[in-house]
Amino acid sequence: MRISITTKLILFVLILSLISTYIVGKYSYEKAKSALVQRTFDQLTSLRIEKSNRIQNFFKQCLNDVTHISQLDDTKEIIKMLSSSNDSENNKDLIRVYQRFLKRFIESSNSYAKLTIAARENTLHVDIQKDIQNEGFYSVKPVGLAISELRRKMGIHKQVMIQDMDGSQKKQEPAIFIVARIENTIELESAMVILEVPIGVINDIMFENRLHNGLGQTGEAYLVGSDYLLRSTSRFENNDVLITKVATEGVKEAFKGITGTKQILDYRNIPVLSSYSTIDIPGLNWVILAEIDVKEAMVSIMSIRSNIMYLTFIIFLLLLGVVALLTSMITAPIRSLIGKTEKVAAGEFGHTLNYKANDEVGDLVNAFNKMTLQLKVQSEKLDTERFLRLNSLIDGQELERRRLSKELHDGLGQLILTNKLKVERALKEEPEKAKQIISESEELFKKTMQEIRNISNGLMPAVLTAFGLEKAIRNLSKEIAESTGLKILVDINIGKRNINSKFETHLYRIVQEALNNVIKHAKATEVNIELNIYNNHLMLSIIDNGIGVTSKSMNESKGNGLNNMKYRAELLGGTLEILGETGKETKVVLLVKNFSYGGD
């Protein structure tokens, strides 16, 4: 399939431009994406650190609170009352004492759900979130399994302890217990103060439902325990604490002590950007993560990518127009050149293009203009030369006819007429006389036959046909030498192979014409003829010692001999040169390269 230069240029430039635009756009997009991802990671890390500090400070405060409560005199007084008999009067005293205690401390805190003071046998449970005057605000109960388990975990060496929520709390609202030992009492080994931290407090710290919380539409910060279960409520799932398992790559790396950022799949199996680390809270083996969906984080970069695509499309259209215009400007002279070339191919030489530009196309147009003008000149020369050759051929034919006519009329015609008269005379004479006349007529017939042979040799030498080129040239040279007195030396070395008869004729006529010119114009006394074939090259040279010739005299020559010689040289596929100067020898040199013997 033929593809034009215009199409090739348009496709090449467009492909190159699109590739360049794609590379630049891709590079810009990747750089912007990398910067955006890094900025998002920095924001998530800042958020994670801020949440981590708040959680750590919160539990630090909780430990301070429970320690402070365990050291209050009111708390120790309550322990004594719980250890005594549990009558109504003691309960009233207990209420009065704890009212004073709540006013002094507990009422100022919104972080706890319940307060429990445990003696050896009994416990006081206070629902801090209820009003003091309400029923159910407090209750005194025997020590249950939960308190016993906390007491067991507390042991005799720990002063304070944080008890993580666990799977046993799945049926109730999960909570964290802050436990402190009450010292300096007779119940030293068993008395404790227990603060219950509800999950809602943790959730309030981890997620603040306000406009500019740094979490966007899909971001969240959450806690995960060593059992890979959530320790704070998910933004996307309800009642998921201690239920939803989070065994993501970020959680696993954080539990290995690695603090970092990475794009991972979260517990919903959705790609997110995650910042993770462990959290430093005594007694709690938690990790904290701050994450946001990749899709939301990449919203702005998606807009940039769309803009790059639109820009690429616009650039494509602009380049298409510009390239089409430029290629049209570039190929217009080429199309014109094609039209002119077709005219030149049809033989209409001399057509030129008017294109002035200093570029490769301009050079091509200039070369074409020079070529077509030279072709025109050469065509005119060829026409002139063809005309001259035709004239030479016609003149030669006319001269040959005149010569033949003259020879037939003056020579052969006179002999035949004389012979006719003799025969007629013999018919009228006596026998003896007639016999003598017939004898004379016989001699005259012999002369007539010889004259016919001479004319025939002038047209086509019989010796050339019978014995070949070398013998013919030698016979010609011998005849001319005998008739003119010229000394002619012949040196021929053409091998034993036969040369094409047409070639032999052309070579013979060139030698014959050259010798005729020597006889007519050279005033020479000696002629050397050399004919050699070597390395498939044929060379014929005819050298005389005459008065010499000049190029001017050859150009002014009105004869047809030189044109005939050159014409025959071209038919042989060679070149013929005549070299000489006034007063010096003249050389006629024929050279045929890659000469082929041919055949008849």
pLDDT (0 to 100) of residue 293: 93
Contact between 310 and 332 under an 8 Å Cβ cutoff? The reply is: no
Q: Please, which contacts does 181-184 make with residues 24 or more away whose CB atoms are closer than 8 Å? A: 181/70, 181/154, 182/70, 182/75, 182/76, 182/79, 182/117, 183/70, 183/71, 184/76
Residue type, 269: N
- Residue 331 β-bridge partners: none
Q: Which of 200, 180, 199 is nearest to 191 (CA)?
A: 180
Shared fold status for 203-299 and 461-600: no
pLDDT (0 to 100) of residue 211: 46
Q: What ranges do the domains of the chain cover?
A: 71-202, 203-299, 349-459, 461-600
CB contact burial 468-501 (16+ within 10 A = b; e otherwise): ebbebbbbbbeebbeeeebebebeeebeeeebee
d(CA 539, CA 494): 10
Angle at 313 between CA 310 and CA 315, to 5 degrees: 110
pLDDT (0 to 100) of residue 324: 77
pLDDT (0 to 100) of residue 38: 92
pLDDT (0 to 100) of residue 588: 93
Name which CATH class applies to 71-202: alpha beta
pLDDT (0 to 100) of residue 549: 75
d(CA 393, CA 256): 112
The sheet carrying 271-281 orders its strands as 220-224, 284-293, 271-281, 260-265
pLDDT (0 to 100) of residue 453: 62
Residues of the chain with pLDDT under 70: 1-2, 5-6, 85-109, 131-137, 167-171, 184-189, 208-214, 305, 387, 389-413, 415, 450-463, 496-498, 550-560, 597-600
Phi-psi region of 55 (alpha: psi -120 to 50; beta: other; left: phi over 0): alpha
Cα-to-chain-centroid distance, residue 297: 35
CATH topology of domain 203-299: Beta-Lactamase (3.30.450)
CATH topology of domain 461-600: Heat Shock Protein 90 (3.30.565)
- Predicted TM-score (pTM) of the model is 0.55
d(CA 140, CA 92): 12
**Structure-block tokens of residue 79:** 């322990």
pLDDT (0 to 100) of residue 600: 46
Q: Mapping DSSP to helix (H, G, I), strand (E, B) and coil, where does residue 43 land?
A: helix
Residue with tokens 């805190």: 109
Query: 51: burial class by Cβ within 10 Å (0-12, 13-18, 19+)?
Result: buried
